[in-house]
Structures are given as C-alpha cells and as structure tokens.
C-alpha cells in the first residue's frame, strides 16, 4: 500500500499556493472550489481550509526528500521560508547519514527537508 494523497490545512489557500509552488517548487496540478492540488513525486498534496471543525487540526509533518539539503536550504530560505533549525544529522545507518532541517510554511505548518547521504 502507498500514500496517494495528503491533505494540509491552510488558512489562506492563495497564499499557500504561492509558497508550495514558488518556494518549494512543487508542480501545481489544478485549483478548484478553494482546493489546490500539487504533485509531489507519486503523492498528491491537497491544500484546503478545513471543511468542518472536526478536520481543523495541525497537519502532519511532511518530510520532503532532497538530494542536497544544504543547497535547498539556501534556495528555500532565499525564497522566503522560515527555518526552525540548521541541517543536522539525525541518524547514521552503515555508510548512510540521514540529515534533516525543519521549516514553517506560510500557514504555520511545520515541515522538513531530509536528505540521505552516502559516504
């Protein structure tokens, strides 16, 4: 089984679309009725306002896998993202190091960049 779509709650869909399209450079598939759909490799990402109070909760943390975490941090920071920390190694398994760094989107959701580096 694999994930087909992840929904992220936002307050302002237009503002969030600009961030995910222009800062994270995710391909925008389409927008309709206050919903915005992006492609993130095999997973579709849905941005929308919560349809009811039962769905009004902070989103899960999305971990965006990148090839070069240092380069992406510079690019995304220059594009306006707010980072909560610096890239740091969180695990080492054999010859592979897993690095992460956390950032906020325009809607206050916390997400991360992650990179697996082989030595």
CATH, residue 85: 3.10.180.10
Question: How does pLDDT run across 24-34, given as a tens digit for each residue?
Answer: 999 999 999 99
Q: How far apart are CA 1 and CA 16, in angstroms?
A: 29
Domain count, the chain: 1
The b/e string for 43-59 (b: 16+ C-beta within 10 A; e otherwise) is eebebbeeeeeeeeeeb
Q: What's this model's pTM, rounded to 2 decimal places?
A: 0.82
Domain that holds residue 30: 5-52+60-118
Instruction: Give the chain's largest Cα–Cα span.
Output: 48
Question: How does pLDDT run across 7-62, given as a tens digit for each residue?
Answer: 999 999 999 999 999 999 999 999 999 999 999 999 999 999 887 777 777 777 89
- Classify residue 71 by its DSSP letter: H
Q: Is 30 exposed, middle or buried (0-12, 13-18, 19+ CB in 10 A)?
A: exposed
């Amino acid at each position: 089984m694999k994930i087909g779509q992840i929904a992220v709650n936002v307050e302002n869909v237009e503002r969030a679309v600009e961030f995910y399209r222009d800062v994270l450079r995710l391909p925008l598939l389409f927008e309709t009725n206050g919903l915005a759909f992006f492609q993130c490799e095999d997973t579709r990402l849905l941005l929308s306002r919560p349809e009811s109070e039962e769905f009004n909760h902070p989103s899960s943390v999305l971990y965006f896998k990148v090839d070069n975490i240092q380069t992406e941090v510079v690019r995304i920071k220059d594009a306006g993202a707010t980072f909560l920390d610096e890239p740091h190694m969180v695990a080492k398994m054999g010859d592979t190091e897993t690095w992460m760094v956390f950032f906020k989107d325009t809607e206050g959701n916390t997400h991360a960049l992650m990179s697996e580096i082989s030595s």
